[in-house]
Structure 1
């Protein structure tokens, strides 16, 4: 019976004979090599299906000393932005015949270290990492000692590792320039979350863009929890200056600010313009629809995955950076400044609730 089982086991050589190709060509098809033509690939795949061939990934891993898996570590899996980023990564690594293990660092350096160690223990071929806030220069040195390919995404802590991100500076200038073109002269930036490279780039670019336009500005921190952002509207209205527009650190902050504006008896767009950042899919669902700076997270994800796949194949490549362009999606949450906006305080003229 043992010999019968051996005779019924389908081998790669059986597949090659069925498809009338060499064993080497059949192997290239299984490994999704681009060197194989579409017609040959189809014949081999049809032969695999007809014979019931199952690729032994475990044996292949032992031969090649590769797991064909990568790790992806992000700081927040509940943010829809990261869902879109992961979608871009998955699409690119699927094309390369890889799968990914996803982990949430919670934006904690200690958890990030533990997760990276676990991924090393599982033998991942490389890691795409959005560094937790507070990540120090000891991490790049540690990664170098591991000889493990790592690509930074969205945030960066060193120029010695590959990086895929967006042109945050250009995006912030696009937002401010758009508001200036609508007549806004006093604009606030609503920020939240811990300090990291993306935070610093957005804040400094806002300052520079406002200075270039000669506008009055303020940078105001709001709570990290979405449910509490609406209640923080008093931070914007309990001030001597009258902001006619608010630029938000991301679309989640914009969602909370929209609720706060509504609770003050004001209307987004009509009474105060609102700009988000990242342009996740939820921006279209808001009413009025949210004007937002698109950072194209799917594209960033694809770029990060491409960098990692190339790094795995060619470890000696010099560090590379792919910075995706941003563009402003103009929707209904931004309008031209009305004559009433020059008055001090906040007041709805239709007799509705007041918020001073």
Structure 2
């Protein structure tokens, strides 16, 4: 049996003695207190590493009545858009020494509730939630029963109320239509229209409002569905019509990239005789041919803001009633509209 098998765990008092400080000072270093001089802090930290000291965070959390963890429940963790949101949440949580536990609802209300219950079983201090399609009173009742601080992100279920952080989808679509009209486009189709959740409805509202503002025909809409699907046959009919559209605003970049391929199959050239705009500014957008004009909705910033708001709620700071933080979008103009890259 090796000497390490019988060795007792290194205590904070051991660290303090080896570093030549009091136990209270070593404890202040663990808590990242500004009261400790930089030289002393560095000496204590180095001593902890050398002795192999392991901080018992679980015991500390029990004393503070918190676990230093939050749950992040998303509808599709495989999407690069949601991955960017996760990165934003993690950046803010890391700065606060908070661990993020991620769950995937796959847009199933039943699975969403199961995931929230499991996160509660792990004693998370709160959750950031992108509500699944079809979320209803059952979700609201469960959150109330669990007494769990919750910030909605990207989508919001009105029945939940409370805090929300998201992009301004409506104004983003309006910016896109304004740009197309300004460049001479008059027959603009919205591809991927759906009303399945709040983010979709706000896109639809933005398009219809912009079309009316500019006095255009508001009937050019191609329906969408989950998983980036849209009515391809309906788009084909419009492209073959006597007076076909000359531009498309798409629900997201994935649909926009598919629409550009569809245009080529009809002998139309995106960026030349047909303008295409997507939404979300995925990495694939800039690398497309032609490079895709898109509405950047800044999911990383949404994630950062949502995590910061949840931390505030957990700490019970500020007003307790629902706070809405809306991140303004940017229109990034690229060759799919016939112009060189600019941001607006």
When normalised by structure 2's length, the TM-score is 0.87
Distance in 2 between residues matched to 1:128 and 1:316, nearest whole Å: 18
Compute the displacement of 1:227 (Å).
Answer: 7.9
Partner of 1:339: none
Answer whether contact 1:223 1:232 (CA < 8 A) is retained: no
The CA RMSD measured in Å over matched residues stands at 2.8
- Match in the other structure for 1:264: 266
Q: How does 1:125-144 map to 2 (within 5 A)?
A: 125-144=125-144
Q: Secondary structure at the match of 1:103?
A: strand
In the other structure, the counterpart of 2:342 is none
Judged with a 3 Å threshold, the aligned counterparts in structure 2 of structure 1 residues 229 and 17 are, in CA distance, closer, same or farther, namely farther
Which residue number in structure 2 is paired with residue 123 of structure 1? 123
- 75-84 vs 16-25, which moves further: 16-25
User: Which residue in the other structure is 1:79 paired with?
Assistant: 79
Name the structure 2 match of 1:330.
333
Contact 1:29 1:44 in 2 (8 A): yes
Structure 1 position 23, deviation (Å): 3.9
Give the secondary structure class of the aligned counterpart of 1:123. Answer: coil
Q: Tell me which of 302, 305, 329 is aligned to 1:303.
A: 305
Distance 1:157 1:314 in 2: 23
What is the distance in 2 between the residues matched to 1:37 and 1:302? 31
Partners of 1:112 and 1:139 lie apart in 2 by 8
1:109, distance to aligned residue in structure 2 (A): 0.8
Q: Which has the larger displacement, 136-145 or 33-42?
A: 33-42
- Matching residue of 2:188: 187
Cα deviation 1:6-36 (Å, max 9, x = unaligned): 8753212333444555545544543456776
Inter-CA distance 197–29: structure 2 relative to 1 (3 Å threshold): farther
Against the structure 1 CA distance between its residues 19 and 171, is the aligned structure 2 distance closer, same or farther, given a 3 Å change threshold?
farther
Asked if the contact 1:229/1:257 (under 8 Å) is kept, the reply is no
1:321 pairs, out of 313, 320, 324, with: 324
Where structure 2 has 5 or more consecutive residues not aligned to the other structure, the ranges are 340-344
How far does the alpha carbon of each residue in 1:254-290 deviate from its partner, in whole angstroms, 9 at most, with x for none? 1211221122222111121000111122211111111
Corresponding position of 1:164: 165
Question: Are 1:199 and 2:235 matched, yes or no?
Answer: no
What does residue 178 of structure 1 align with? 179
What CA distance in whole angstroms lies between the structure 1 residues aligned with 2:202 and 2:227? 22
**Equivalent pairs, count:** 335
C-alpha separation in 1, matches of 2:211 and 2:109: 33
Q: 1:295, 1:36 → 2: CA distance?
A: 42
Shift of 1:237: 1.6
The Cα offsets for residues 20-64 of structure 1, whole Å up to 9 and x where unpaired, read as 555455445434567767655434322221221111233334333
Q: Mind listing any 5+ residue stretches in structure 1 that lack a counterpart?
A: 337-356
Q: Normalized against structure 1, the TM-score is what? A: 0.84
Comparing 137-146 and 256-265, the one that deviates more:
137-146
